[in-house]
Amino acid sequence: MNYKHCGAIVNVKTEGCDGLMDLPAPDPYLVALVGIGTMILLVAWLPLALSRLPISTPMIFIAAGFVLFALPISGVAPNPLHYPNATEKLSELAIIIALMGAGLKLDRPLTFRGWGLTWRLLAVTMTLSIAIVFALGWQVLGLSAAAALLLGSALAPTDPVLAADVQVGPPQSGEEDEVRFSLTSEAGLNDGLAFPFVNLAIAFAVAGSLSSELLAEWFAMDVAWKIAMGVGAGWAIGRGLAWVTFHVPHRVRFSSTGDGFVALGATLLSYSLTELAHGYGFLAVFIAAVTYRSGEREHEYYRALHDFADEAERLLIMVVLLLFGGAIAGDLLAPLTLADIAVALAIVLVVRPLAAWLALIGRPEPRRERALISFFGIRGVGSFYYLAFGLNAASFAEAPRLWALLGLIVLMSVFIHGITATPLMRAVQPGGEREATAEGEASRPVEPR
């Protein structure tokens, strides 16, 4: 019944009409818009509201997703096992946008000496982490060797998406101490450099064993060629973008437009072209961003690029975390055993801190800074992508258990690091805490937590 024609605009009943009590059910589309609008406002406002509290925005969205999908009316459980392709593509998009933002906000030029901490974290910490997690998965948890290698590889990269609390600030903000720089640059590079080990796990699962011929082919293609192509393509694209932006004839000065969505085009172009050339697109996106930033390092246009990438990243992360919370409300963690929980705790609290501490032996940084760098090996969306990619590329009988283990580790990381990031990072700032100026607070976009 169309109640608009039942009587006048006052509450008057006419024949055949039940008045205002006979309203139709809420339109699901409008209800969805209410929810989306609310979550977008929370993405914008929560980081500021929580900036001095030991609570992070990812914690809030995971909890919100858990509650939302636990309600009887939800009717769906977003388990990544049920939506493998969507999980891979959504996490992939979130990562490449985060990598572009991470590369653009680094003020420090890319040099061997200036990035010394980063090289140690990549060469030693990542390698040790993969080896230790592999051993724990294989020998302690009883996973197959291929599944254990996939788990170790998926957990190798630290996360450029969920680690904003411990990363550098926007371009030229002055928020680039040694701790924040090393964690940001590490997260930017190891998301691409974990790929060879994921591909090795896939090859292991498909072949059933690792022959010398398979290892030689893997090294030639998945290590040498794809890394070289990722670095080379990223550098070339970054240089090209910088030239077009700053050095075309002055009558067409693209940098004067202030269009931040160029960052999205640069991200998609870098990633897709490199993947088409059989290189590592993740690596290319970060290298392209760092190279692009070197074009006119102090130019204010980089702030617009970073801000757009940051906003797009936050919206995508909102979706990913809500779905992750929903998966937890479902049966994602059901396969876990007590041994799995113990190993997950060890990976978060022992494996990464130990591997990073060993990598930093002999460095001149104060002990407190080295301890923070070692502790904040945040796991997140990058691990989601790598596990989804591996499980989509090969058959692993332990897939439900792998997702349960990885989901628990990411959940632990989000809450443990989210609670400790604000007080611990404040301790390394000059004067014990950074105090933003009124101008900075007004102009700086709030970083996702």
Residue 164: per-residue pLDDT? 67
Mean pLDDT over each residue of the chain, to the nearest integer:
84
**Residue 192: Cβ-neighbour burial (10 angstroms; 0-12, 13-18, 19+):** buried
What CATH number corresponds to the domain at position 54?
Answer: 1.20.1530.20
327 belongs to a structural domain: yes
Q: With cut-offs at 50, 70 and 90, classify the pLDDT of residue 447.
A: very low
Q: 136-145, 156-165, 177-186, 412-421: which range is least confident on average?
A: 156-165
Same domain, 31 and 171: no
Is the pLDDT confidence value at 339 over 90? yes
How many domains is the chain built from? 2
Same domain, 240 and 167: yes
Same domain, 151 and 36: no
> How far is it, in rounded angstroms, from Cα 160 to Cα 182?
12
Residue 24: per-residue pLDDT? 74
103 belongs to a structural domain: yes
164 belongs to a structural domain: yes
Q: Is the CB of residue 310 less than 8 Å from the CB of residue 256? A: no
Q: What's the pLDDT tens digit per position in 284-304?
A: 999 999 999 887 877 788 888
Same domain, 263 and 331: yes
Is the pLDDT confidence value at 230 over 70? yes
Same domain, 362 and 428: yes
Is the pLDDT confidence value at 155 over 90? yes
Q: With cut-offs at 50, 70 and 90, classify the pLDDT of residue 307.
A: confident
Most confident segment among 24-28, 178-182, 210-214, 283-287: 283-287
Residue 157: per-residue pLDDT? 87
Boundaries of domain holding 104: 50-443
The set of residues, in sequence order, having a beta carbon less than 8 Å from that of 244 and lying 6+ positions away, is 254
Q: Among all chains, which residue has been given the structure tokens 């992360």?
A: 317
Share of the chain above pLDDT 70, in %: 85
Is the pLDDT confidence value at 276 over 90? yes
Most confident segment among 166-175, 197-206, 437-446: 197-206
> How far is it, in rounded angstroms, from Cα 270 to Cα 100?
10
Alpha helices in 71-194 (DSSP H): 84-104, 116-120, 127-135, 145-154, 178-193
Is the pLDDT confidence value at 161 over 80? no
Q: With cut-offs at 50, 70 and 90, classify the pLDDT of residue 118.
A: very high
261 belongs to a structural domain: yes
Same domain, 31 and 108: no
271 belongs to a structural domain: yes
Same domain, 368 and 432: yes
Is the pLDDT confidence value at 51 over 80? no
448 belongs to a structural domain: no
- pTM of the predicted protein model: 0.85
Q: What's the pLDDT tens digit per position in 405-440?
A: 999 999 999 999 888 887 887 776 654 444 433 334
420 belongs to a structural domain: yes
Cα dihedral 78/80/82/88 (nearest 10): 120
Q: Give the mean model confidence (pLDDT) for residues 53-66.
A: 85
Same domain, 209 and 236: yes
CA angle 242, 243, 249 (to 5 degrees): 135
449 belongs to a structural domain: no
Same domain, 179 and 129: yes
What is the phi-psi region of residue 187: left when phi exceeds 0, alpha when psi lies from -120 to 50, beta otherwise? alpha
Same domain, 12 and 62: no
Same domain, 28 and 64: no
Nearest to 61 by CA among 379, 325, 332: 325
Q: Give the mean model confidence (pLDDT) for residues 152-178.
A: 80
Is the pLDDT confidence value at 245 over 80? yes
Q: With cut-offs at 50, 70 and 90, classify the pLDDT of residue 257.
A: low
Same domain, 31 and 125: no
Distance from the first to the final alpha carbon of the chain = 48
Is the pLDDT confidence value at 87 over 90? yes
